[in-house]
Structure 1
Amino acid sequence: MGSVKIVLRKKVNKDKKYPIAIRITHNRKSSYMLTGQYIDLKDWDEKNHRVRKSHANAARLNNLIIKKMAEANDKLLELETVEKQISSATVKGYIRQEYKSTSFFKLADKYIDILEKANKHTRISSEKPMIKHFKEFVKGDITFRDISELKLREYQSYLKSKRQVSQRTVINHLVVIRTIFNLAIRDGLVDRKFYPFGKGKIVIKFPQSVKIGLEESEVKTLESLSPEDLTLPQRHALNIWLFSLYLAGMRISDVLRLKWSDFQNGRLFYSMGKNNKAGSLKLPEKAQKIIDSYIGQKDESEFVFPELKKIEPTNVKATLKAINNADKKFNKHLKAIAEMINLGKPLKMHIARHTFGNLSGDIIPIQMLQKLYRHTSINTTISYQANFMFRDVDEALESVLNS
């Protein structure tokens, strides 16, 4: 009969700390497997095989020890039942392989590779840092079994207090973990009973956000700014913002990808990058005036606006990076313009879409708005436009107060 014990190996690392290890003994032969945790010698209770309370994370480490011991014992009993002659090294190999296969961050790397092959570079740019934040929180690797409801609640507190992010950003971080956890279940790396999400556990629910767009008078103030009022970079940023507004809040990624060949007979033909929905719009006169002001910059690259002209069209990563950098640059100039006119509201690129929603209100039928926004589902349009449809509510309130 074999045995499993947790010990502190007397092999100091470069930080002068000692590794906590699993010692597997069978037929008087022992093998050691490191847990990945290192502590000072003074923090180890040799008699009770546990971390002393003097260590800042004693409770967490001792819980980890108990879990590792239980898993190693279960595997030893399972193997001894199947095989009469088994070495400690064999047990160690099975346990190590199990730990390795259930590594969250190993599967996270595969998940990023999947996105890479699918050219989902926008998602990679947002989700890869979230995976990094989780790794920083757990201080190394973690198995799927160790991603408990309690661990995720601690992570939420960490994101809010240490990283000072919004509740919506916290939920985005949890969504990434949930996605990778679901992949692990699908691939048989972890049993569904360890799933920390769902009713009675961690529930993914996005908080409602308030979308504020500009009023018609505020847009007219922006349109009335003369070239002498702005620097050239500010004028360019405002042109991009207004062009986006005039095309129903077209996303900046789509605006910057526009080519002269996309404009034919006074119409714009393009496919939206987010969902590849193709369509055509008659170019409004105000949008045409902006386009005409860039004809003098026309060159062999075919791009209307300059941000992507020096980027190789097939280089998706470089294109995405250039768009992100342009967005930051535009927002900086738009903020300066907002301060100049005492706007009193945030002025960023995505506010152009909110502004179109605010101006359209309940004037345009929802089915037509779905076409303009190029939403795949009309429910998305209804949910989005609900942020800007106030007339019925306002009239109901007035009817009570003025009765």
Structure 2
Amino acid sequence: MATIKIVLRKNVKADGTYPLAIRYTYNRKTFYTYLEHSVRLIDWDERTQRVKKSYPNATRFNNLLAKAVADFNDKLLERETNNADTSVDAMRSAMVTAKENTFFRQAAIYCDQLRKTGKSNQLSTDQPRINRFKEFLGSDQISFSEITPTLLKKFTVHLKHTRNVTDRTIVNHLVVIRTIYNRGIAAGVVDHKYYPFGKGKITIKFPDSLKIGLSADEVKLVENAELSANENHARNLWLISFYFAGMRISDVFRLKWSDFQNDRLYYAMGKNQKAGSLKIPDKALRILNQYPKSNTHDLVFHDLASLLDLSKSYAVQIRIKTRTKSCNEYLKEIAKRVGIKKPLTMHIARHTFGNLSGDKIPIQLLQKLYRHTSITTTIGYQGNFIHQDADEALDAVLRMN
């Protein structure tokens, strides 16, 4: 007959605690499944297989231990019901597989793939979100089926009232959880029937975000400001982004002299690989002429020149993130100096182009300039900057009074 028991292993750790494990015995053979928790001898009650009241958050911890035993029993019962092997070797293999199929195991695989594919920006934002979910749970051993709509609602309340984060940030946390859940379904480690997202469950909707660009007069203030060398370089990058229809700063850093042919710029946007070309405005040409060509690399700007291999996308993204942060600091000082009250960052160049294009450019042409894959994205984006109809409607109403 099989027996299942929580025991305190005797291999003491450096902090003086002892690891806890589930001991499974069958036909006089035994194996241990470690629970990734350890306690002091003085806090452990061997007879009841529980921690004593002296242990911090004893009730919650004992519930966690009871759940671990219940999960093991469920796995054993499932195998017995299906007339599957319940020997020590078979159960050991089953428990190893179960650990591989937990949410955080799949999360680790997801993060590792982000790292290997060079998506450092996404990794640097998604990893902390995964960690916050783990902190909320107080454990890294949760199955996909346990992630219910009720649990996720509690998590959103926790983020809002304990972490004091914005609604947009809460949605970003849910998106990461949904992404990993979808990957778990695709990998066959969880049944879609447990999916906690969708109609009548957890729905994800991004709140509207306010996008504000500079006015034409404010752009002139930036163009005409007297600046130091480092400030001038940051301004040049910002203006190149603006002059080339709100080019993303990551693509500005990657610009090469070979991208410029026959008075046009040819490049594919890094985010979605949408290719196209643009004429070189005279203002952009005057900036480009400030940067002599190098004998060692083809880059227009020097910011990535220290990297020996630009094909290593992870290192490139890390460098871009660092340089963007540094340039944003200079832009902040420029804004203060010329009296611009709005935020001035590299990404604001894209918003500024949207603001100044307003109702002036057909939406299909804007889609081409922005390199959006879907025109729906362009419509949603440009909606932040089109005000004419609403303004005229407001004036019409007010003229009636």
Q: TM-score, normalised by structure 1?
A: 0.87
CA distance in 1, matches of 2:198, 2:37: 31
| 2:197 match | 197
* Secondary structure, aligned partner of 1:37: strand
* Secondary structure, aligned partner of 1:370: helix
Residue 265 of structure 2 corresponds to residue 276 of structure 1: no
CA distance in 2, matches of 1:100, 1:245: 50
Identity %: 52
CA distance in 1, matches of 2:364, 2:84: 71
* Secondary structure, aligned partner of 2:35: strand
CA distance in 2, matches of 1:39, 1:201: 38
Q: TM-score, normalised by structure 2?
A: 0.87
Matches within 5 A, 1:205-354: 205-225=205-225, 229-294=226-291, 296=292, 298-311=294-307, 312-354=309-351
CA distance in 2, matches of 1:119, 1:289: 34
Equivalent position amino acid for 1:104 in 2: F
CA distance in 1, matches of 2:176, 2:377: 22
| 8 Å CA contact retained: 2:79, 2:85 | no
Equivalent position amino acid for 2:354 in 1: G
Deviations 1:295-331 (A, max 9, x none): x354441211111223233332332222111101110
Gaps of 5+ in 1: none
Deviation at 1:388, TM superposition (A): 0.7
| 8 Å CA contact retained: 1:99, 1:143 | no
CA distance in 2, matches of 1:239, 1:86: 69
Rate the CA distance shift 1:161–1:233 in 2: closer, same or farther, 3 A: farther
Number of residue pairs matched by the alignment: 398
Rate the CA distance shift 1:10–1:117 in 2: closer, same or farther, 3 A: closer
Q: Which runs of 4+ in 1 moved over 6 A?
A: none
Deviation at 1:44, TM superposition (A): 4.8
Equivalent position amino acid for 1:231 in 2: S
Matches within 5 A, 1:24-103: 24-27=24-27, 31-41=31-41, 43-44=43-44, 48-51=48-51, 55-81=55-81, 87=87, 89-90=88-89, 92-103=91-102
Deviation at 1:281, TM superposition (A): 0.9
Deviation at 1:53, TM superposition (A): 5.6
* Secondary structure, aligned partner of 1:109: helix
Deviation at 1:57, TM superposition (A): 3.5
| 8 Å CA contact retained: 1:76, 1:91 | no
Deviation at 1:336, TM superposition (A): 0.4
| 8 Å CA contact retained: 2:242, 2:349 | yes
RMSD: 2.9
Deviations 1:23-59 (A, max 9, x none): 3344566544332223345655656544556544344
Deviations 1:121-176 (A, max 9, x none): 54334434444444455556323244444544454455456665433233223222
* Secondary structure, aligned partner of 1:22: strand
Rate the CA distance shift 1:116–1:61 in 2: closer, same or farther, 3 A: same
| 1:398 match | 395
Deviation at 1:288, TM superposition (A): 1.5
| 8 Å CA contact retained: 2:104, 2:141 | yes
Matches within 5 A, 1:124-135: 124-135=123-134
| 8 Å CA contact retained: 1:18, 1:38 | yes
CA distance in 2, matches of 1:116, 1:30: 39
Gaps of 5+ in 2: none
